[in-house]
Amino acid sequence: MKEKLYETLEYINSKINKTPKIGLILGSGLGFLADSVEDKIEISYDEIPNFPYSTAPGHEGKLVFGRLSGKDVVVLKGRFHLYEGWSSETIKFVIYTLKKLGIEKLLITNAAGAINKTYKPGDIILVKDIINFQFRNPLRGPNEDEFGPRFPDMSKIYDEEWVEKIKKEFPELKEGVYLAVIGPSYETPAEIRAFRKFGADLVGMSTVPEIIAAQHCGISCLVFSCATNMAAGVLDQPLSHLEVMEVANKVKQEFSTLILKSLEVL
């Protein structure tokens, strides 16, 4: 992996002139935030040696370097999912690339189904914990000792100091537990009932491998889910990706304000 990683880094570094400390991973319908980046340099995923590419609707597939809220950042405009056929190890490779680029903090967003009946579509939730129902771990296999320990601690999946600053700015911000499945099919009503009993408030198809890999290599995280729909069986209606995109579009302004402030307080 090392040879591929350094080949990837060499290509990216040849295209940029700044070293960002903050990374952002934008979920379904949330890539619009990358349009606000100033002095941007864009690199398509398919140009980068050894890098995966996005195939999911609403994920454009670019690294965007520049300034956002006064901070030097790199934005992943589109992420990588297990349901696309990528392995969790591939997602680890992406996170390790960010680490080697100098990223110290990672702000992750996703679109999720609301299991918690007190949520409503359009709510933005601070993720305080995760449940890995993908049954895949990106750290499986020989440990990459230069990045982190064999058995990384997962008792805190978020940056406590960062979270406290955000909660002071947004005291009404809801919190919840995010459960990840592989997808791409949506969950059944029976699965959602079971997940609720496990303590899950949200369900989605991403984010967990990214958090695990980030914890391993010492990148601290802040995670927001946009509850774009009620999960299966909560309402008597079918689920669709179109609904996810429509709701994400409706909360653009609110989400932008939250993300920009999250960068500003650092």
DSSP letter for 247, please: H
**Three-class secondary structure of residue 11 per DSSP:** helix
The fold for domain 2-264 equals Rossmann fold (3.40.50)
Q: Is 84 a catalytic residue?
A: yes
Mean pLDDT of the chain: 90
Q: Is 45 a catalytic residue?
A: no
247: its two tokens: 């709701």
Choosing from 205, 230, 232, 248, the catalytic residue is 205
Residues in the annotated binding site: 28, 59, 79-81, 111, 187, 206, 229
- Give the closest residue to 160 by CA, choosing from 99, 108, 222, 217: 222
Choosing from 36, 42, 60, 83, the catalytic residue is 83
Domain borders along the chain are: 2-264
pLDDT digit string, tens, across residues 194-251: 999 999 999 999 999 999 999 999 999 999 999 988 776 565 566 566 666 677 677 7
* Residue 198 and residue 179 in contact, taking contact as beta carbons nearer than 8 Å: yes
DSSP string for residues in 135-196:
---TT-SS--TTT--SS---S--S-HHHHHHHHHH-TT-EEEEEEE---SSPPPHHHHHHHH
Residues in the annotated binding site for a purine D-ribonucleoside: 187, 229
pLDDT digit string, tens, across residues 12-61: 999 998 889 999 998 766 777 888 899 999 999 999 999 997 766 555 78
83: Cβ contacts below 8 Å, ≥ 6 apart: 182, 183, 184, 205
Mean pLDDT, rounded, for 167-181: 96
- Using alpha carbons, list the distances in angstroms from residue 42 to 12, 92, 108: 10, 22, 19
Q: Is 205 a catalytic residue?
A: yes
